[in-house]
Amino acid sequence: MNAAQVEAADALMATGLSKSGFHKARAIIDHELILARVEAEEGVVRFDRDPGLYFYSVFGSPGGSEPWASRVEGHHLSLNYTVVDGEVVAPTPTFFGANPAEVKSGPEKGLRILPEEEDLAKDLFVALEPHQREQAIVYREAPRDIITKASVHVEIDDGAGLPASLMTGDQRQKLMSLIEVYTGRMPEELARSNLWKLEAEGVDAIHFGWAGSPQRGLPHYYRIHGPSFLVEYDNIQNAANHIHSVWRETRSDFGRDILRDHYQQHHS
């Protein structure tokens, strides 16, 4: 793209994110320059780390009467939007990652572009009583990656871990603050709609699951599972200094699934 086209592409990306979400997305793209330097210093260069290697796709005709969609895709960033009748019906999956999660050297030393995703979850886990922690643990060791990976549909059916119904008021508030980190990536109206939906479905039904250690620098994983959404996070690779995090909707990732609806209606 030329400079004007890149500016237009960024403007398109910004329409699907909050101000803070857009800043995080741009930071993830720019982080490729830091990762390139880190890998060169370590002698482990395997891929071309280039902020220009992010791809913008449009499906259908924007603004018309027919459904259309857009996507931003690249290393540690995946944004997907489906629009029907002029309204965003699915702003998911939304994937943000960071490597290094914390820059350990150089002029950007100490930089963390996804700190809340890590810190608030650890605060919640540490705030649990011993018997609550035991129930929250879904795996003794952190898995090698997020469980859903790049699957088309969320394949984790049931909530596992500690339900919000067994949390204290302070613990529930910590849980909601963590959820709001993920909804806060979305534009305000979409974030508000998602929070209303999960409250209508019942906060008590939300489960918080943990694996690994809450100690800084050690591998850890968590997920938050509600009736209609799933958050997954891991920080395992590169000596637990490499974050993956995703918000998914269990019923409407990538918009309506016409084939699945057909099977449910006619082949149940």
Residues counted in the chain: 268
Dump pLDDT digits (tens) for 94-139: 999 999 999 999 999 999 999 999 999 999 999 999 999 999 999 9
Q: What is the DSSP letter of 176?
A: H
**CA–CA dist 10, 114 (Å, integer):** 20
Q: Does the pLDDT at position 260 exceed 70?
A: no
Which long-range contacts (C-beta less than 8 Å, at least 24 apart) are formed by 68-73?
Answer: 69/254, 69/255, 70/12, 70/16, 72/13, 72/25
Question: If we measure between CA atoms, which residue out of 3, 74, 2 comes closest to residue 32?
Answer: 74
Task: Determine the pLDDT at residue 88.
Answer: 82
How many domains does the chain fold into?
1
- Please give the helix or strand (H or E) that residue 79 lies within, else none: strand 77-84
| Selected residue with higher pLDDT from 126 and 264 | 126
pLDDT digits (tens, 9 = 90+) for 201-224: 999 999 999 999 999 999 999 999
Task: Please report, as a single letter, which amino acid is at residue 3.
Answer: A
Residue 242 near residue 96 (C-beta atoms within 8 A): no
Least confident of 71-75, 87-91, 166-170, 211-215: 87-91
Distance between CA atoms of residues 187 and 20, nearest Å: 9
DSSP 87: E
Per-residue confidence at 268, pLDDT binned at 50, 70, 90? low
In which domain, by residue range, is 12 found?
3-266
What are the start-end ranges of the H helices in the chain?
A: 3-15, 19-42, 115-127, 130-136, 169-183, 188-201, 237-240, 258-266
